[in-house]
Chain A
Amino acid sequence: MQRKLISGIIGIFIALLIGAIIMLLQGYDPLQTYGALFNFSLFGLFPFATTLRNSVPLILTGLSASVAFASGPINLGQPGQLLMGALFATIGGLYFDLPPWLMIPVLLLLSMLGGALWSGVAAMLRKWFNMDEFITTLMLNMIADFFTFWAISYPFFDRSAYSPMTPQINTKGWLPIWGEFNSNVIVMILAFAVIYFVFNRLTAGYEWRITGHNSLFARLGGVKIDKNYVTVMLVTGALAGLAGGLVVMAGPHRFLKGLGANYAWDGVMIAVVANNGLIGTLLYGLFFSALQTGSLGMELITAVPKEFIMVLQAVIVLVIVAGRGYLDIFLDKTVAKRKARERTT
């Protein structure tokens, strides 16, 4: 745990340094830029609240990827599952009229159902036709993309709009906002707590983890790996779907074109950087959200374009992922050297 924290902090620090060098080479002032970046994402109530709000889809899709990868299934369908979740929540929001205390949970459940349904398709394709979820989830992303685009262009199209989008959902399904803080953060924290508990404390989570490490060992130990595979696919699909539902219910309150943005792929990236650790996913999710949130302000104040943040993200991913392996090798080698020296004396 401590080693992970240290390697993470060192990695981010080195990445920021490399970013500063790139900026210097292009004639920007790195200190001013980083100042603006973090001023507009962390320091102050509004920036911090925005960072929190923006982190929700990143963290939830990141959790989805982390849990899936750590348990075995290569579920790369978060983008599609997010869109299906968003669509389900939107449709529910358009047709249901319940009191808010019921409406919100129902829409959240609907979004989870949408995501789980979509990952469930991949799980069934694997079960019945032995198709690799690595491929099918990627393909299903495409289908979800076009299917939702069709849905918001025709059956659920808002006739008063000029571009594909649905009408706004029933205001009873809007997530409450307290001051600057959007309550989508609370839903995310609840979901995180539940997943963390399931993954680390429940028998099921133990079996998922061991299956992720070595499925043959788990199978020989009496774990029903096929059943667990389906469960993990459904759970991770539901998480990505929930991310989609929250995007709709916290933000535009409707499904509009390009709603999924790059959330899910960023989530997958966060899972990779966090090495599929749940707490790591939460922390890196917050950090990447801060970068993305601050980038707008950075562009406003300095001449550095906000696309620079994508460069910085890429550098962070490379430095941390490569550095993690290297740090282990380095520490192991140091131990080996010390041991060899002990032998001679």
Chain B
Amino acid sequence: MQILIEMKEIIKVFPPNVIAVDNVTADFRKGEIHAIVGENGAGKSTLMKVLYGLEHHNQGEIYLEGQRVNFQDPGEAIAHGIGMVHQEILLIPQYTVWENIVMGAEPVNFFGMIDRQTARQLVQKKIDEFQFNLNIDAKVDDISVAAAQKVEILKLLYRNVSVLILDEPTAVLTPQEIPQLFNELRRLRDLGHTILFISHHLEEVLSLSDRITVMRKGKKIATVQASETNKSDLAHMMVGRNVLFTTLREKKTVGKQIFSIENLTYIDGSQHKGLENINFKVHEREIVGIAGVEGNGQFELVNSIMGLIPTKEGSIRVNDVNLTKADILKRRQYISFVSQNRGKMGAAVKASILENVMMTHHRLNPQFTRWKGLLLNDQYARKFTEQIEQQFSVVMDRMDNPFHSLSGGNQQKVILGRELLLATPFVLLDQPTRGLDVGSIEYVHELILEMRDQNRAILLISADLEELFRIADRILVLHRGKIVADLPTDQTDIEEVGYLMLEGKERSCKEN
């Protein structure tokens, strides 16, 4: 097949120094479905945005049918027949399907007004040509997400685009809608269109595409024929190690009870029960994991424990101290907390690394201050930051630099270090590895185990089941604000927990 697009040695650095695309060379052929796969942050979207003219590469060349091109903006790319559908639907909900499709390229009549008749006919012709099942007069507000996505694709086809870039198109679809989309994409390919398809769902990719390009950490790992590869090979290339994860759990006897929640119920402003009758305990030397699809009460649970929302029903205790009504500073004497969102809750990114390290310690550790807590002890804080730098092998330039100058992994190390060095019996971890690369994740897991070995009680909230199975001793499943299962990790498996997360109850008849 003829090569349509060639990207040569593309480098994209996001200022100041995040290398998003690292020397990638790839080619895309006419009339193929070409999948680009990789983990979050692997650079697949950035590579496609470079092609589409939405991002500008720092180095490298792009050839379209042998001609060198360098699109300054998406308009130019579309004029050359390359269009992109973004992950989110970007349509005007109040407008009809045909209005959305022609917008920006409306046929006009003699007086410069939109020629509705012609516009509707043109749109209908395109719909018939590609056999998209759409009502052109429906308001976008009233149609399904899958239909809206079709409108997005039609919008590009209406502009005679022959290369379609789709950024994780299945992320917004229900499982039933996906095969339909795939059929339409296959039909487009058979009509001579080229489809570049970004995804990290390997099964989809294997069933749909002709060729697959795998990216990892900004680099291209390989381009393979879909027919000549399989899921585990792809996963290996994507992650860079065998995905058959090894457990880090060890059989340890747990100690005395540290943390307990009793009968906690949280009802939010709209009378919705965010949490319902939560009861559980965490012991010394125990890691308890909380599994659940996001939005099933994790947020409310964390905020209740930390005191960001008031607890009206139920109680929260650490070491038999009742913290239900305590202020946050009091709680912090007993609870170390790593949040899921570093920039929002875990750090002040514009403040210096030093200032971020001091937080909470400055109130709880008298060595950080003089004059009865009035004056900061700068020397001690600096020594302490150096200690964190060494103990947690943080790569930092100067501790007076802003926190955001650190890489994501190093930011998390600093935060973990700060929280770990608080002398607290209980540690609350809310998705501590979110957005980190594989190496950092492993390091964080080791740290968590280290905390356990220091006789602490650990509550780990995670959306990543692999993570929970790797380190948690017990897994609680949160479903619609209730704990629906409490399972020792060695007596369950990912399948069972996954089912409980989705359905909230045990499978009625267990297979096998």
Contact = CB atoms under 8 A, between A and B. Distances in A.
Interface in A205-220: 206, 209-210, 213-214, 216-220
A331 B15 CA distance: 9
Interface in A48-105: none
A203 B381 CA distance: 12
A220 B329 contact: no
Interface string B346-364: 1111110001001110111
Interface of chain B: mostly helix, strand, loop or mixed? mixed
Given A220-B306, A222-B329, A222-B332, A202 B13 contact: no
A311 interface: no
A204 B16 CA distance: 33
A344 interface: yes
List the 4 shortest-distance A-B pairs measured between CB atoms, nearest first: A340-B58, A332-B15, A213-B348, A222-B329
Contacts of B355: 206, 209-210
Contacts of A219: 308, 328
A330 to B, nearest CB: 9
Interface string B294-332: 000000000000101000000000000000000111001
A300 interface: no
A72 B19 CA distance: 34
B369 interface: yes
B337 interface: yes
Contacts of A206: 355, 358, 362, 376
Nearest to A219: B328
Contacts of B12: 340
A218 B19 contact: no
A58 to B, nearest CB: 27
B339 interface: yes
Given A336-B15, A336-B17, A343-B59, A210 B351 contact: yes
A210 B13 contact: no
Interface in B369-395: 369, 373-376, 378
A37 to B, nearest CB: 36
B353 to A, nearest CB: 13
A209 B356 CA distance: 11
B17 A214 contact: no
Nearest to A197: B375
Given A214-B351, A335-B15, A337-B13, 10 more contacts: A202-B376, A209-B351, A214-B349, A219-B328, A220-B306, A221-B363, A222-B364, A224-B327, A336-B58, A344-B11
B344 interface: yes
B348 A343 contact: no
B347 A217 contact: yes
Nearest to A213: B348
A186 interface: no
Nearest to B339: A220
A217 B348 contact: yes
A275 to B, nearest CB: 11
Q: Which of A204, A209, A219, A221 has the most CB of B within 10 A?
A: A221
B349 A221 contact: no
B359 A341 contact: no
B345 interface: yes
Contacts of A222: 328-329, 332, 359-360, 363-364
A344 B358 contact: no
25 contacts: A203-B375, A204-B374, A206-B362, A209-B355, A214-B344, A214-B347, A216-B344, A216-B345, A217-B346, A219-B308, A219-B328, A221-B359, A221-B360, A221-B363, A333-B15, A335-B16, A336-B14, A336-B16, A336-B58, A337-B58, A340-B11, A340-B59, A343-B23, A344-B23, A344-B59
A10 interface: no
Interface string A307-345: 000000000000000000000010111011101110110
Contacts of A3: none
Contacts of B58: 336-337, 340-341
B22 interface: yes
A201 B13 contact: no
Interface string B188-216: 00000000000000000000000000000
A343 B327 CA distance: 51
Contacts of A203: 362-363, 369, 373-376
B106 interface: no
A156 to B, nearest CB: 40
B374 A220 contact: no
B22 A214 contact: no
Contacts of B339: 220
Nearest to B343: A214
Contacts of B378: 201
B218 to A, nearest CB: 10
Nearest to B358: A206
A218 B58 CA distance: 38
A220 B337 contact: yes
A336 B360 contact: no
A217 B11 CA distance: 35
Interface string B1-41: 00000000101111111010011000000000000000000
B345 A217 contact: yes
A251 B193 CA distance: 80
Contacts of A333: 15
A221 B374 contact: no
Contacts of A204: 374
Contacts of A332: 15-16
A339 B13 contact: yes
A228 to B, nearest CB: 12
Contacts of B345: 216-217, 220
Q: Which of B14, B327, B363, B373 has the most CB of A within 10 A?
A: B363
